[in-house]
Structure 1
Amino acid sequence: MALRTIPIRRAGNRHNLFMGGDRELVMFTGLMAFALIFSAQELRATVVGLLLWFGALYMFRKMAKSDPRMRHVYIRHRKYKPYYPARSTPFRINPTSQGKQYK
Structure 2
Amino acid sequence: MAASSRSLTTAFRHCLLNPVALGYLALVAAVWVWIGVDLLFVDHQDASFAAVWGFLVTAPASLLFLTLPGPAVWAGVAVAAVVQAAVLGAAYRGFAGRLRHRAGTV
Bin the TM-score by the shorter chain.
Answer: 0.3 to 0.5
The structure having more radius of gyration, on CA atoms, is 1
Question: TM-score, length-normalised on structure 2?
Answer: 0.39
Structure with the bigger percentage of helix: 2
